[in-house]
Amino acid sequence: MRKTFLLLSSFFLLIWLTAINTSAKEDLKSAIFAGGCFWCMEADFEKIPGIKDVISGYIGGTTKNPSYENYGKAGHIEAVRIFYEPSVISYAELLEIFWINIDPLDKDGQFCDRGHEYSTAVFYLTNEQKELAAKSKNLLDKSGILKESIETPLIMAGEFFPAEDYHQSYYKKNPLRYKYYRFRCGRDQRLNELWGEKISVIKKVKITAKYQKPDLRELEKTLTSLQFEVTQNDATEPPFRNKYWNNKREGIYVDIVSGEPLFSSTDKYKSGTGWPSFTKPIAGAGIIKKEDRSWFAVRTELRSKQADSHLGHLFNDGPKPDGLRYCINSAALRFVAKNDLEIEGYSVYKDLFQN
């Protein structure tokens, strides 16, 4: 009897674990894009919030299980299969990211890589993806951003074959070789020519979205009492007796709770109030404005989008042309110096300090 019970328990445990794994997979959706070198496509997409995995591989040819040595001869092209959370990022947003990371005007390859095996394509998996891709391509064509017609085709996806293990996450396994290849291939130079400021703004918006608020019990351990009171209980620190009111170094200011980028030293100015003051948030910053009726007045409270930290208030007595003053508590901020941006994961903001 005991043996039978143990067998039944194991059986139902296996079913339960299988159900959990199946449910987790069902929460993810898939997309397939080709944009030249799959090392680069994988690196570009894996950094986006909501994307859980990116697989480099081959698609579009006539043979089963192609290898790196023969995929081109069989008509396959390099592509990536993306697994993403639709509750965090939509397929339409994936398309937007895809366009700004390729040269859609080049039908014969991508950047320094020439030939059909390096061409671009949207491989749609459903009719909905096909319609969204067609709409996205048509809107981009009519926008006037690009001076020529888009050459990237929309193709019904066939079987996707994962590439060899050494190709997966190549940019992580071989960072120096990857960076050298990407630079020598002229990928980023060409992307900047095509998209200009649009590419950096979109990347900043996507990167900002990845920061989350830790558990309150964790915050009580990691924050000082003043930082906790300011960010979690809407307190205000003393003027002229705080960390950044007179900070003149170059860099960015991030949420002390989540790390989401909020302000840049390029927009900081001396307001004479005794608190850090800025004329505007950093590009892509998610700052929420709320009506605040405390202290017998109506003010505009500022909170961070991802962590819901209390930051400070917005006033209309700032410098021209906009006349705005973002008055922020130092205790709600952490400063990341210009020279530390890359090592701390904020390299996309380095262009703010280019001379």
Q: Which residues are catalytic?
A: 37, 327
**Any idea what DSSP says for residue 350?**
G
Q: Transcribe 306-343 into DSSP letters.
A: TT--EEEEEES-S-TTTT-EEEE-GGGEEEEEGGGTTT
Closest CA to 208 of 314, 349, 98: 349
Nearest 5°: phi and psi at 314? -110, 130
Residue 133 and residue 124 in contact, taking contact as beta carbons nearer than 8 Å: yes
Closest CA to 306 of 292, 288, 330: 288
Helices (H) then strands (E): counts for the chain:
10, 17
Whether the CA torsion 128, 132, 135, 141 is positive or negative: it is negative
Q: Angle CA(226)–CA(232)–CA(235) in degrees, nearest 5?
A: 55
